[in-house]
Structure 1
């Protein structure tokens, strides 16, 4: 390639589609180094559920009904206990007396405690347990619990649909955002880090919200409903049970402050590990060729250990919430049991009421503990959501231009006093002016880092000029939407890119509406047809993302056929024939000669033999054009081009010898 690789900080990132050109990255190398607070990201995540408001309201209504039914259950069950207990005592009391007479007799005998207890029960002296009434109460409890479970299941079904719809839109927003980001963003980010945000982090958001939202809604409503029942039965016992809540919340808040930072670190470390794995796997062949396995394994171990430590700390600290809340809850449970027993003996409460209250105490402490434990998952999900939001908030390309190109433009390109710099402190191109006329083949040569690929990247508006302007057929390209501008261009890079699909589909990538005959015509013109028939399924042969079932030269021919089919007004070739053999290169050059007719072509080349027939050769050094002319004119001038030509000729002679 004609440009140096971008510095990659602590990660050796691979070349991007630009083929190089981007210089430098922001401080720290990665965005998202500073974590924002928990609540803004949490509110923003909840805000993305607004389109699902009707279904969320339905979920809330179903959950409220379910919680109310479930909360009423212990109170009804307590009535069954009262019936059994009253029957037990009634059977032991003398028949024929009223309850008042029995109570009066007990008080006269000095047994005040038993008298108070009997007075508080609904019994008939001499009558045993009414099992028919007990059975009816138990059936009522069963019906209440079954109906509550069904409503809860339906609420969970709807909530699952809500969460998956929200996550689906989040994925779609990330996908759309990636296509709106400037190329410079990808130059500064390790590819694995971006993939981690688009996959791992979104999956973690989905799982966290799915697991926590339903439980949190149910737990909150359960706390409210149970508290109401507790106050109804005994305000005194309710106050005792409530003492544990502020203590639990205070301790949980202290743990949350620490664990949120740890979760952000965990998911950032996950992104770093994914970036290294993606890099090592995509460059697996080179890692083996250069014996880089030990270094790669060492780097993996370092990142993996870092993730282990971050995840261990995050899970351990957040995991303290559950045992702390359970311990405090158990203390209140014991206090309620002791005070409740005293109240039964005094006749202030029935045994069934105390039994129901103890159930409510457990039912109250359990959702409080669950809410505390949900913080673990919720913090992890919000930490991932924060990373996704950082991607969604990244500055986009400004594509507000509304100009248009001439319908019958032929591809005249003018650079008018153009300046450009990846880093403001290090200008690359300074005050460059040139004209490429329709039908001309403009070749660009020069040493690595001279700005060759940058020049064509500016024409494609992968980057914006920092000074001057570039026009296409007299129209400033900055005033034209990028999609329209690039629809007039075809580009073939040294690094081939194929997607998983058939060879015919790969050729038609830039022009999906092309007919089969047009695809075949492009294939024949670029000599793809010459090797396709030797493949098992011809043009329907499926290639993978790396095109591993094709040779490097065959992959290059497919990309050239793709550009040929697009029939562009402006053609850009960046070392496009470097992967094909000499004979095929001659054939492709013949095809390109026909393709370049009445079109402007920019050809970046290192092998000067491939550009001898160019109409204009530009020699670049340090972002400036130092020589320009035809092949013969530049040789006669005896300057940089002549020295490059002599060096290559000498190298070829030595190689032949």
Structure 2
């Protein structure tokens, strides 16, 4: 399945944009109460704001011109009260919408991270970590900024424009039409240019994700950069990503700022029309000075929000571009589905491959029509040249991937019928490059193991001793309390493999897969690990992938994996002959 987020067809993006907007509306439904309160406050606030120009015009026509100072003071007091009430409502509204934005940010990031945990390894193989981090941090923050800051201003501006437009038309229809005409021109202009603005912002977010991915990759592999003295190579790659980000940012900035000057020009044209036509109406006795001042104020209430909307609309387009990138993740589904469990075959082998084919997306077949069985309690070794398919076979056994064709059976049942929890309790996997979480050794050992989650340190040490793992734990001065920092060199790769080994063995799995688990361990420690493996329950099946000959020489059965095929190698010497024959022929 194609999980590449940056390789989506543009026509497909256009067809899903409407659906994604509906999903966003459904997503914010949980905040409908606060949004409704904010909307009601907004109505009251805008009503007070739009009433003020009428009060000012009335005061000029009835009290200022006739010099009735008591009426002027009364109207001034009314205006002051309206402004104070409006201030209180505006502050209350900002608090509510700030909470809405922060809750949305929290829920969005949580939803994206939960979705990432549901996706298979194939997804992470096809997407860069830095880009995913950018989507979780940067893109969700764009949406937070819009909902916590811009949405209220956006809705308030629309309401102000609507109310002002109604007042303009009610006061004088002809003058109102002349005033509003530039606004309709802006509407057409915005409609035409918005898709381009959104696409430019989407391209900028994509390049920002690429830059983040480049930085993450360079910092993660900095030791390699230093060892090979290739700062120039990574500096060049970073410069290319940085230039791409710069070009898209400039392009997005140009289109983001195109609204402001156009909106300002139309606003000025409208104000000029009001002045010219309004003064003419006053000269023929059809208008008053107070009404003209009110009219100018209403024109400002119509066009000032338009100028603000120029920036707010840009924020909206950025938020929608961010939502599109977030939606790409939220819409994905894992291809590792759990299927209904059929009847289990009696006396079946622990693992069976039945005519299995497998290929990675965009590559040739790694395995072709492979069939074999693995019995309970035996030790199996997978040998073969690098790139022959050993790790792929082990990954299929642990259902990190599903075969392209054929089926993998576990205990006589299709392995796809097991839930992830059931499968994890039966299969232990020690990876070639073990990963540890920041914390203590104890926290890493009991990770994902509910059986020992509530154990005290003393109880866990007793379990470790019974499993014969105490000699490995003695390698760490502080024992289970030893601190582990992800990405830190305080613990060697060999020590990490020891911790991963203890973590897997304590799960007491039916099947234990060791993918080069002793590659970074000295011979003495390897012998200790072998002794631990011998203490495993009799029913535990071991699958070992290793290049060291002494690691596999005691295996009950050896499989030779190469060129899409898995063949029984028979004895240890026969397996070595097959390897030597392959090396000579290649």
Query: TM-score normalized by structure 1?
Result: 0.82
CA distance in 1, matches of 2:317, 2:355: 53
Residue 474 of structure 2 is matched in structure 1 by: 530
- In the TM superposition, what is the alpha-carbon distance from 1:410 to its structure 2 partner? 11
Q: Distance in 1 between matches of 2:284 and 2:464?
A: 98
> Secondary structure at the residue paired with 1:209?
helix
Q: Could you tell me whether the CA contact under 8 Å between 1:255 and 1:318 is conserved in 2? A: no
Q: 2:252 aligns with which of 309, 314, 332?
A: 314
The residue that corresponds to 1:155 in the other structure is 93
Q: Which residue of 2 aligns with 1:542?
A: 483
**Shift of residue 369 of structure 1?**
2.1
Aligned to 1:337: 275
SS of the residue 2:567 aligns to: strand
In angstroms, what is the RMSD of aligned CA positions? 2.6
**Alignment-derived partner of residue 135 in structure 1:** 73
Which residue is equivalent to 1:373? 311
Name the CA shift for 1:254/1:641 in 2 (closer, same or farther; >3 Å): closer
2:326 & 2:5 partners in 1: Cα distance? 17
1:519 and 2:495 matched: no
1:456 has 2:394 as partner: yes
Name the residue aligned to 1:240: 178
| Distance verdict in 2 for CA 1:29–1:289, change over 3 Å | farther
Q: Note the C-alpha offset of 1:423.
A: 4.7
* Pairwise CA distance, 1:522: 5.3
Assess if the C-alpha contact under 8 Å between 2:514 and 2:543 holds in 1: yes
The question of whether the paired residues in 1 share the 8 Å contact of 2:204 and 2:245 is answered with yes
Q: Any unmatched runs of 5+ in structure 1?
A: 1-24, 88-128, 647-657
- Conserved in 2, the CA contact under 8 Å of 1:577 and 1:585? yes
Matches within 5 A, 1:548-627: 548-595=489-536, 597-627=538-568
1:571, CA displacement in angstroms?
Answer: 0.5
Distance in 1, Cα, partners of 2:119 & 2:239: 32
Structure 1 residues 296-307: aligned runs within 5 Å: 296-307=234-245
Partner Cα distance (1:290, 1:475) in 2: 49
**1:261 maps to 2:199:** yes
1:32 to 8, 12, 15: 8
| Contact 1:403–1:481, Cα closer than 8 Å, also in 2 | no
User: Secondary structure in 2 aligned to 1:566?
Assistant: coil
1:67 and 2:5 matched: no
Q: CA deviation at 1:353?
A: 1.9
- Whether the 8 Å contact between 2:338 and 2:416 is mirrored in structure 1 is no
C-alpha distance in structure 1 between counterparts of 2:583 and 2:525, whole Å? 22
SS in structure 1 at match of 2:428: strand
1:170 aligns with 2:114: no
How many angstroms does 1:644 deviate by?
A: 8.5
Deviations 1:135-173 (A, max 9, x none): 111111111122122222222322232333333332222
**CA separation of 1:400 and 1:587: change in aligned 2, threshold 3 A:** closer
Which residue in 1 is equivalent to 2:233? 295
Q: Distance in 2 between matches of 1:196 and 1:62?
A: 35
Spell out, residue by residue over 1:487-527, the C-alpha distance to the aligned partner (whole angstroms, 9 max, x if none). Answer: 21111112120111111101110214511345324554333
Tell me what 2:296 maps to: 358
C-alpha distance in 2 between matches for 1:571 and 1:467:
24
Q: What secondary structure sits across from 2:506 in the alignment?
A: helix
Structure 2 equivalent of residue 628 of structure 1: 569
1:95-110 superposed matches below 5 A: none
Partner Cα separation in structure 2 for residue 259 and residue 320 of structure 1? 9
| 2:37 paired with 1:58 | yes
CA 1:424–1:133: 2 relative to 1, 3 Å = closer
SS in 2 for 1:531: coil
- Cα distance, 1:27 vs. partner? 11
- After superposing the two structures, state which structure 1 stretch, 245-254 or 351-360, moved more: 245-254
Structure 2: how far apart are the matches of 1:214 and 1:409?
Answer: 67
Which region of structure 1 is more displaced relative to structure 2, 467-476 or 415-424?
Answer: 415-424
- What's the counterpart of residue 323 of structure 2? 385
C-alpha displacement of 1:304: 0.7
Cα pair 1:444 1:603 within 8 Å, conserved: yes
The 5 Å alignment of 1:394-405 reads: 394-403=332-341
Distance in 1 of aligned mates of 2:374 and 2:248: 56
- Whether the 8 Å contact between 2:4 and 2:126 is mirrored in structure 1 is no
Aligned residue pairs: how many? 574
Aligned partners of 2:308, 2:202: CA distance in 1, in Å?
Answer: 22
Distance 1:481 1:28, change over 3 A: closer
Deviation at 1:441, TM superposition (A): 0.8
Distance 2:580 2:168 in 1: 95
After superposition, the Cα gap between the structure-2 partners of 1:290 and 1:416, relative to the gap in structure 1 and judged at 3 Å, is: same
Counterparts of 1:481-496 in structure 2 under 5 Å? 481-496=419-434
Closer, same or farther: CA 437–284 of 1 in aligned 2, 3 Å: same
Match of 2:407 in 1: 469
Distance 2:355 2:84 in 1: 79
Relative to structure 1, the CA distance from residue 263 to residue 41 in structure 2 (aligned partners, 3 Å threshold; closer, same or farther) is farther
**Alpha-carbon spacing, 1:618–1:522, altered in 2? closer, same or farther (3 Å):** farther
Where in structure 2 are there 5+ consecutive unaligned residues?
none
User: 2:57 pairs with 66, 72, 78, which one?
Assistant: 78
TM-score (norm 2): 0.91
- Structure 1's 404 and 585: CA in aligned 2 closer, same or farther, altered over 3 A? farther
Tell me the alpha carbon deviations over residues 527-568 of structure 1, each in whole angstroms, 9 at most, x when there is no partner: 342122x24xx4233321124321222111111111122111
Deviation at 1:457, TM superposition (A): 0.9
2:3, 2:122 within 8 Å by CA — same for their partners in 1?
no
Equivalents in 2 of 1:174, 1:153: separation in Å? 32
Deviations 1:422-480 (A, max 9, x none): 25872221222222211111111110111111111111111112333222222221222
Q: Secondary structure at the match of 1:435?
A: strand
1:405 & 1:490 partners in 2: Cα distance?
Answer: 24
Larger Rg: 1
1:276: Cα distance to partner?
A: 1.2
User: Which stretch has the larger CA shift, 364-373 or 327-336?
Assistant: 364-373
Provide the rounded CA distance (Å) in 1 between the counterparts of 2:235 and 2:26. 42
Q: Secondary structure at the match of 1:639?
A: helix
User: Residues 27, 583 of structure 1: CA spacing in aligned structure 2 closer, same or farther, 3 A cutoff?
Assistant: closer
Q: Please give the per-residue CA displacement for 1:283-334, whole angstroms capped at 9, x wherever unaligned.
A: 1111111122111111111111111111111111220111111111111102
Does the CA-based 8 Å contact 1:404-1:481 persist in structure 2? no
Render the CA deviation track for 1:70-122: whole Å, top value 9, x for unaligned: 111121122333345323xxxxxxxxxxxxxxxxxxxxxxxxxxxxxxxxxxx
| Cα gap change, 1:51 to 1:411, in 2 (>3 Å) | farther
